[in-house]
Copies of this chain bind each other. A is one copy, B any other.
Amino acid sequence: MVKAIEWKNNAVIILDQTKLPFEIRYTECTDYLMVAECIKKLCIRGAPAIGIASAMGIAIGAQDIKAKSFDDFMNKTQNIMETMLSTRPTAVNILWAVERIKRLLYKHKEESIRKLKKLLIDEARKILEEDIEINKAIGRWGAEFIKDGDTILTHCNAGSLATGGYGTATAPMILAKEQGKNIQVIADETRPVLQGARLTAWELMQADIPITLITDNAAGALMRKGLIDLAIVGTDRTTRKGDVANKIGTYTVAVLCKENKIPFYVAAPLSSIDFNIDSGELIPIEERPSEEVTTIWGHRIAPEGVNVINLAFDVTPFEYVTAFFTEKGAFLSRDIKKLAIKTIDPNSLRLKPI
């Protein structure tokens, strides 16, 4: 399994996904600004992966901090956190990582600065390791909803490259295959940045899962022909109500699934759920440069001077989601908010496949 990100010899090693699948090139980030730049430029992308990258960025940035008190250290760490938060607005995982690190630091505020710096590195590496375990769990729960012979549509890349490993939307596919189920996957190419064509197709070919690439335009026709049994996508941020922000075009997939009576599943680690907001309309939607639309791989495909709208994400309202696959089980939209309540046993809410 290719690693999107790693902590090695006091550097953050990031696989440059903008070059995939044609070039395997790693960037060795030795300061936090390099990490932030990698996130902004999509060298690393995918909600869980940029959560991990942010934690590692904060950890590496903190090593250079000179501070005499906890408050001083905290202030300077805060600046690094702000830089990370400013890279990409839609995914909640950066915020999630920042909050987790803050809690850790306050918990250990009596420790020495040196110790705090070490704790940050340990925590960042722990976030990466946990992510892999979380994805395996998502995979186990999600695989229950995949039948032998199923063809699964996915949009964008919520694969191992978007995470510490296994992926979120791809984990159920990998687990289903491990369980001996005969499955195949159809990947939307996912314009503008073509993560489906470049990343998902490549990953699943490497994982030996039969994969067919289509343009985003073709998903509807294949559904109508009865060639797709279910769809699984990832999420950059899901609200407590179950509104799902994910790569632009996800809403279209959800509408097509509804129209064709095909289950639409969202693989959502709890770190991607924003329990603080209710409606998807409150999620900030990143607009990216128009060049992502007017050029492909550096080559112009549209007339000079054309006006462009390039929303990176869209919001799929909760009512389109058949179920969420999380590390705690599969759940209906209406039960998502209850997962924040510590006294509730997820077992009592868990959805069983029909």
Which of A's residues lie within 8 Å of B, judged by CB?
21-22, 186, 189-192, 194, 197-198, 201-202, 205, 210-222, 224, 247-249, 251-252, 255-256, 258-259, 293-294, 296-297, 299-303, 305-311, 314-315
Contact = CB atoms under 8 A, between A and B. Distances in A.
A216 B202 contact: no
A255 B220 contact: yes
Given A294-B197, A297-B296, A191 B215 contact: yes
Contacts of A214: 293, 308-310
Given A191-B215, A191-B217, 16 more contacts: A21-B302, A191-B191, A194-B301, A198-B301, A201-B302, A201-B303, A205-B303, A212-B308, A213-B307, A215-B310, A218-B309, A218-B310, A221-B251, A224-B314, A252-B256, A296-B301
Given A293-B189, A299-B299, A301-B197, A224 B210 contact: no
B217 A248 contact: yes
A248 B215 contact: yes
Q: Is the interface of A mostly helix, strand, loop or mixed?
A: mixed
A303 B24 CA distance: 13
Given A252-B252, A255-B255, A221 B314 contact: yes
A192 B212 contact: no
A252 B219 contact: yes
Contact of A259 (B21, B259, B301, B302): B259
A212 B307 contact: yes
A216 B213 contact: no
The 3 closest A-B pairs by CB, nearest first: A217-B249, A221-B314, A220-B252
A1 to B, nearest CB: 16
Nearest to A188: B217
A255 B259 CA distance: 7
A218 B250 CA distance: 9
A121 B198 CA distance: 49
A216 B196 CA distance: 14
A216 B249 CA distance: 8
A219 B309 CA distance: 10
B194 A221 contact: no
B306 A205 contact: yes
A314 B220 contact: yes
17 contacts: A21-B302, A21-B303, A192-B215, A192-B217, A197-B293, A197-B306, A198-B303, A201-B302, A205-B303, A205-B305, A213-B302, A213-B307, A215-B310, A216-B216, A217-B248, A255-B256, A297-B301
Nearest to A320: B259
Contacts of A256: 252, 255
A211 B306 contact: yes
A38 B248 CA distance: 35
Given A301-B197, A311-B218, A294 B213 contact: yes
Residue among A192, A219, A252, A296 facing the most chain B CB atoms (10 A cut-off): A252
Contacts of A305: 205
Contacts of A252: 217, 219-220, 252, 256
A218 B311 CA distance: 7
A300 B213 contact: no
A21 B190 CA distance: 24
Contacts of A314: 217-218, 220-221, 224
